[in-house]
Amino acid sequence: MAAGSGVPPDNTLPLLQFVPWQSAVDVGFWQKLAARKLAELRLSEAEQPLAGHFTASTHTQLSSPLHVGPDAWAGGVSEGAVRGGRAVAPGSCVLTNTLDGFKQADKKALLQAAAAKVWAAIVSGQAERDSALLNRFFLLTFADLKKWDFVYCVPPPLGEAMARACLAWKQAPPPAPPPDAVAGPPGDAVSDLAARLEASSVEDPGDVAAASVGGGSPFFLLHCAEGEQVTAHSLEHWSALQQQAGTVVAVYLDPCHLASHPGWPLRNLLALAVVRWRVRTLPVLALKETRGRPDWDRSLATTVHLPDLPEWRATGAPCPAAVGWERSAAGALGPRVAALGAALDPVQLAGAAV
Amino acid sequence: MSLKQKLHDTWVGVYESVTPPRTVSAFRSKGVLTPEEFVEAGDNLVNKCPTWLWDAGEPEKRKPYLPPNKQFLITHNVPCFKRVHTMEEDPSTETEQMMGEDGEEGWLATHGAASETRQDEGEIPSMEGPSTEAPKEEAKAGPSRGAAEADDEDEVPDMDEFQDDNNLVEDDAATFQIPYLRAEEPGDENILRTRTYDLSITYDKYYQTPRVWLYGYDEAKRPLHPEQVLQDVSQDHARKTVTIEDHPHLHGKHASVHPCKHSLVMKKILDVICAKGADPRVDQYLFIFLKFIASVIPTIEYDYTVDFDLGPSKRQS
């Protein structure tokens, strides 16, 4: 893939590498899928809407997966299961009728088609109003209902061909001085963000985030105004906030636990920043949580340096090549199998009962 | 599931269907909860530990005596970095006893001392399980050597069968190539350990106590076979108090800590707390309850209640 094509490589800063997102498809989802296949979908191979959900990384050693559960068919959040840090990711599912159909499906084309939806949402500005659209995922599956084996591929949220973004995470060693072309040393704009948040008049910065994220928003903006006021805004207020004094930081729920690399969702946010906001640097805060509450100490702040991609901003620009197929346990880009006969097959259950 | 257990389940089902739920609070006198008290304690847990959520579960499995949107509590993606047997071999990791020496602590974790003899018993599934035996090979062989493998080798799908014809190739410089997370332990890197669990707490009408359910995933997020789940249960409890049963609100088999002794244990703990001069409230029931459950599943790190102090001075308000 032509990462950052058209931009002279900036060798003084490391290329930003995004940590792929793991999916967790649970047994309840497969059970619902089987029921729907038999009762409603039958032989239809049409794309079905889904919704997964996720939280920011909750544990220093563990990333949060994109969870596809039994409620995926009903919008991703079951009745009652609502809380501040949980965000919904829209998705879709193609269920093939035969194993051959699964094998021969043009996965590249399917992924590209799904990526085009994200791209369209970015270009049209829709993704700024509903930032969950940036986390769209796609699931291709075949269900063997005789053996209760489910074969599936989940490319979680599509990564746009976003690259040549450079990072200096808060805890990383100080980077080499940037060349003149890059405005300001990396991390400058947000280096003291954590301190400002702590010193801010907002009693609990978590409340600011929770107020915004409570609506299921996985991306939002924090505006650190003069006088140490910190307020949360949706992405569509970017240009309005630029007119005001202070720093604007793009915040996203980061499912990745690593302190050295950002999680996958940032990719599409950066694409949005290039296409819509036309910025060359973007202060970013990767929000993580501890015990269910935003954890500002674990959250990483950095300034990302973006390439200039005029071809992306042209009217009717085609969607860049998509990546993001989830790797199997073996590390290959192959399908994964959930063998759930022991858990779901009525015959096996009856056999185990005596 | 044994026939005896099946009969008992049937009896419980019939009993539950004809008896009304408990209405009179007996939290202090018997260690049990009414459905209303369960909701109250659950609300407090969700409030204090937001990783726990209320869930509505399957609509057709809803219990009328609980609010439709508060059928049970669930927390997802709880890490479990090591298997219980490695912990039991290492006396230094012995679980800290929560209470005074003089209490009756039949339920407390007794890791360390008792473990050597148990490892010889053939029926303990943990040591030679498929996931720890040759994980490297498993990883190479692909997802087909999955959770169901322990059961019947024949029915395990052959991965080549599913391999697609148009092999995907992605060469994206901006993708960080991360191996699946492994516990970092130099020299022992072959062992796959980072399992995650979905924990749920339901209200058991028959025993009138909360009940804990476990659903596990391996490091590649494939569902664990029930046998593998038992590796993460204290071996004193595996197959005795921890059984594999149908979840009352969800689909599939889950491992569950059987609630038949819960009220007795809770009563004892409450007595000890009261003897120390504290006055436990009913909305703290689940905090205490989870402490007790930690002795059964010592390696599963649902650690958000660790700072809950049972003493009167630091009681959570």
pLDDT single digits (tens) A129-165: 888 888 888 888 887 766 555 666 555 444 443 333 3
pLDDT score, position B36: 93
pLDDT score, position A328: 60
Does residue B13 have a pLDDT over 60?
yes
Does residue A194 have a pLDDT over 80?
no
pLDDT single digits (tens) B15-57: 777 778 888 888 888 889 999 999 999 998 888 887 888 888 8
Which of B137, B144, B175 should we substitute to test contact with A (largest number of A Cβ atoms within 10 Å)? B175
A288 contacts chain B (CB < 8 A):
no
pLDDT score, position B149: 38
Concatenate the DSSP letters of all residues of B67-106 into one string. Answer: -TT-SEEEEEEEEE-S-HHHHHH-GGGPPPP-S-TTS--T
B175-201 average pLDDT score: 56
Which chain A residue lies closest to B180 (C-alpha atoms)? Answer: A329
Does B171 sit within 8 Å of A78, measured CB to CB?
no
b/e map of B262-300 (b: 16 or more CB within 10 Å)? bbbbbbbbbebbeeeebebebbbbbbbbbbbbbbbbbbb
Sign of CA dihedral A254, A258, A260, A264: negative
- 10 Å CB burial of residue A217 (0-12, 13-18, 19+) is buried
- 10 Å CB burial of residue A199 (0-12, 13-18, 19+) is exposed
Amino acid sitting at position B78: V
Domains of chain B: 3-115+193-305 (3.30.1460.50)
A31 contacts chain B (CB < 8 A):
yes
pLDDT score, position B60: 85
B260: annotated active-site residue: yes
CA angle A233, A239, A243 (to 5 degrees): 100
Domains of chain A: 23-159+320-352 (3.40.140.70), 193-313 (3.40.140.100)
pLDDT single digits (tens) A311-333: 777 777 777 766 666 666 555 55
B61-87 average pLDDT score: 86
Does A331 sit within 8 Å of B172, measured CB to CB?
no
Q: Which residues in chain A have Cβ-Cβ distances shorter than 8 Å to B163?
A: 103, 334-335
pLDDT score, position B209: 93
With a pLDDT cut of 90, the percent of chain A lying above it is 0
Q: Bigger pLDDT: B317 or A298? A: A298
Report ipTM for this prediction.
0.75
Within 8 A by CB and 6+ apart from B65, the residues are: B21, B35, B205
Q: From the candidates B49, B80, B260, B274, which is the catalytic residue?
A: B260
- Give chain A's mean pLDDT: 69
b/e map of B39-62 (b: 16 or more CB within 10 Å)? bbbbebbbebbbbbbbbbbbeeeb
pLDDT single digits (tens) B228-246: 888 888 888 887 888 888 8
- 10 Å CB burial of residue B86 (0-12, 13-18, 19+) is buried
Q: Bigger pLDDT: B142 or B50? A: B50
pLDDT single digits (tens) A195-220: 555 544 444 545 555 554 445 578 88
Q: Bigger pLDDT: B174 or A176? A: B174
pLDDT single digits (tens) A7-66: 344 445 666 777 777 778 877 888 888 888 888 877 888 888 888 888 888 887 788 888
pLDDT score, position A8: 40
A162 contacts chain B (CB < 8 A):
yes
